[in-house]
Amino acid sequence: MLKGKIALVTGSTSGIGLGIARRLAAAGADIALNGFGDAAEIEKLRSGLAEEFGVRVVFAPADIGKAAEAAAMVGAVEKQLGRLDVLVNNAGIQFVSPVESFPVEKWDAVIAINLSGAFYAIRAALPGMKARGFGRIVNISSAHGLVASKEKSAYVTAKHGLLGLTKVVALENAELDLTCNAICPGWVLTPLVQEQIDERAAKGGISVEQAKRELLGEKQPNLRFATPEDIAEAAMYLCGPGSRAVTGIALSVDGGWTAQ
């Protein structure tokens, strides 16, 4: 379905981003990976994807929280793969603390990576997409883009802001075949969430399994973690031809979290 399209997925060396990159590659898109990690591991991912799906795969390194690096990343992908059709803004970090003790540098980092990073990449990708009259932009927000939880002020602020940015980009490009949508995942068992589970287990003196049950029980009515593949299917829908009339939405994949 995406044969001949070029897709960049930020934060695709792990978790949800990697799941999305795999899904888009399986649909025939050439892929630009981005994210942190061991160089040899990343090269293994890159060559593995290319071989498994028979598509071109490049690695476009950048700290997405830095405007110049994000713009250079988009430019490098356009140069190496010819253009950019699909941009998935997925890179993100978490930090948990009450507001009054939330370290300012952690606030700045979460806002830079989870919110400004998407703006930097979109800003750099739009001229090419507009010139060709085609684009698919998918922003990975969160259930925390729609509702809040305690101790996640920066994350909740960034993810709410990302939904605002999604709507503006959708409106500005609505007359083209250029959509911008967001996905709002609930709990997905990735390194980002495993860290929160481990902290909860350590703090409460409970087992990791018990911490997982508590986490799900508090928020996610289906009592199951979503998988990166579940989120990737939603991304595939928003990048594929069946969603041409869909723009500016927040698509929840959250096991009922925000239905409560």
From CA 71, how far away is CA 257, in angstroms rounded?
35
Contact 148, 216 (CB under 8 A): no
Task: Please tell me the total number of residues recorded for the chain in this structure.
Answer: 260
d(CA 209, CA 198): 10
CB contact set of 106 (below 8 Å; sequence gap of 6+): 95, 97, 154
**What does the alpha-carbon distance between residue 78 and residue 120 come to, in Å, rounded to a whole number?**
15
Kindly state whether residue 166 participates in binding ligand NAD, applying the rule CB under 6 A. no
Beta carbon of residue 132, minimum distance to ligand NAD (angstroms, whole number)? 26
Check if 120 is active-site. no
CA dihedral 227→233→234→239, nearest 10 degrees, is 140
Position 92 contacts ligand NAD (CB under 6 A) = yes
Question: CB-wise, 26 or 193, nearer to ligand NAD?
Answer: 193
Per-residue contact track with ligand NAD, 49 to 78, x per CB under 6 A? --------------xxx-------------
For residue 249, the minimal CB distance to ligand NAD (Å) is 16
Interaction between residue 161 and ligand NAD (CB under 6 A): no
Q: Select from 5, 6, 14, 86 the one that contacts ligand NAD (CB under 6 A).
A: 14
Q: How far is the CB of 89 from ligand NAD (least distance, A)?
A: 8
Which chain residues interact with ligand NAD by CB under 6 A?
10-11, 13-17, 34-37, 63-65, 90-93, 113-114, 140, 142, 185, 187-188, 190-193
